[in-house]
Structure 1
Amino acid sequence: MTTRSAPRRVANPLALAVLACLWERPMYPYEITTTLRERGKEDSIRLNFGALYAVIKQLEKHGLIGVDRVEREGNRPERVVYAITDDGRAEAVGWLRELVAVPAKEYPAFETGLSLIGLLAPDDAMARLRERIAALDADVAAREAVLSSPQVRDVPEMFLVEATYRNAMLRAERDFTAGLLARIEDGTLGGVDRWARWHALLSRGATPDELAAAITADLAPDAQQDGGDPAHGLG
């Protein structure tokens, strides 16, 4: 069974992409960048040239890649061509096995927003959720158009699996968001009446002490009458 390993010697996911490129053949840094971009990897790996150079230096420092040769063409600057080492191959395989097998705790921005959504009034929150649904619909449509385009249509699905995964996640997020919006709108989301009541107090100019007293009263055990887990206040 694959388990989470000790911290990686070079933790930036871009390092794994570099190792994957060099697994195919020795390359110089600009060639690595263009290869990753041509294959659409910048949609799943944060890619910029400055970061790439820093990652390459770290990989070289830890013995995961090494200089294969230095090329010179006329008056052009020399190009350092790098190759993967045996340690680099072992690192890449172990890292990739872990990424595929072991779920990692991540901190998506939307999850953060949902955890604190009580700070918004219900009407405001519903408006923002509608905006998100529209944005997700547009994103999914654009991505599906790319996947069905003539340039991509004949690419084996194996080489598009991260794109189909991303679309599946976007559709799932869209469906969740639409369901959440519907439950707020029809009042079936547990705690939504308290949420509305607290913001009504705020709109009438309630003092912090008055709001705190209302929240405390609503969170008391004998006030948990509308199902679901106890509310957590405005945040």
Structure 2
Amino acid sequence: MARSADNPLALTVMGLLIERPMHPYEMAAVLRERGKDASVRINRGSLYDVVAAMEGEGWITVHSRVQEGNRPARTVYALTGAGRDAFVRRLDEQIRNPRREYPLFLTAVAYLGALGAGGAEAALLERADRLRAVIADDQRALAEALASGQVPRLFVIEAEYALHMTRGELDWVTGTVEQIRAGTLVWPGDHETGTTP
């Protein structure tokens, strides 16, 4: 299997092509319109690499070529039977099997002590404020999508999941701030490098 076909974007592209054949430019536009760029990195180069790899795997095939005005012709791709099977197999495996993911915040938290109690508290409080803003934006976008009546809840269920994850992170961050303030998360005096409250 080509490395690009293993990219998380491949699953997203296959999900789009289940709906209808599309050219890569349209795929990117639809993903951005639906806010999917929050969960998967989309840029022209990676999208075209993934599309080429998926075509090489036999998961997608050229459906047609379209040309609008003086613009270059665009290649429209469709999902093949093998692509549908690969999509369902990968989707099922990813839903069933939890995997440890390594976000940057997890790495940073491992070294929280280097900020000192005061520095850690200040950084976490700022993060909490930013998380609240993200939650408010995500709640608003989700409510608008559902209120329109155009988008079934199932089509935005990952936005619900992301919202729950962000709320969980906010709970952890605010709980940790409370522990710092209460003195139950202790910084050994000799190792404190940041400012103290």
Unmatched runs of 5 consecutive residues or more in structure 2: none
Match of 2:189 in 1: 197
Change (3 A) 1:27 1:156: closer
Change (3 A) 1:20 1:198: same
State the AA in 2 paired with 1:197: G
Match of 1:99 in 2: 94
| Alpha-carbon offset, residue 104 of structure 1 | 0.8
1:173 and 1:29 map into 2 onto residues whose CA distance is: 34
RMSD: 2.2
Is 2:108 the partner of 1:116? no
Between the two proteins, what is the percent identity of the paired residues? Answer: 43
> For 1:185, which of 181, 186, 190 is the aligned residue?
181
State the AA in 2 paired with 1:141: A
Contact kept, 8 Å, 1:64 with 1:88, in 2: the verdict is yes
Determine helix, strand or coil for the equivalent of 2:75: strand
Match of 1:90 in 2: 85
Is 2:4 the partner of 1:12? no
Determine helix, strand or coil for the equivalent of 1:105: coil
1:72 and 1:45 map into 2 onto residues whose CA distance is: 28
Determine helix, strand or coil for the equivalent of 2:64: strand
Q: 1:14-47 deviations in whole A, cap 9, x for unaligned?
A: 1111111222222222122222222221121211
Q: 1:171-221 deviations in whole A, cap 9, x for unaligned?
A: 1111111111111111123xx1xx241246x69xxxxxxxxxxxxxxxxxx
Match of 1:39 in 2: 34
Contact kept, 8 Å, 1:122 with 1:196, in 2: the verdict is no
Determine helix, strand or coil for the equivalent of 1:104: coil
State the AA in 1 paired with 2:182: D
Match of 1:71 in 2: 66
Determine helix, strand or coil for the equivalent of 1:148: helix
Change (3 A) 1:168 1:73: closer
Instruction: Report how many residues are paired.
Output: 192
TM-score calculated relative to the size of structure 1: 0.74
2:4 and 2:68 map into 1 onto residues whose CA distance is: 34
State the AA in 2 paired with 1:173: E
Match of 1:167 in 2: 163
Match of 1:57 in 2: 52
State the AA in 1 paired with 2:12: A
State the AA in 1 paired with 2:162: R
Unmatched runs of 5 consecutive residues or more in structure 1: 1-5, 204-235
| Alpha-carbon offset, residue 157 of structure 1 | 2.0
1:80 and 1:109 map into 2 onto residues whose CA distance is: 36
1:172 and 1:92 map into 2 onto residues whose CA distance is: 29
TM-score calculated relative to the size of structure 2: 0.87
| Alpha-carbon offset, residue 92 of structure 1 | 0.5
Higher relative contact order (CA 8 A, sep 6+): 2
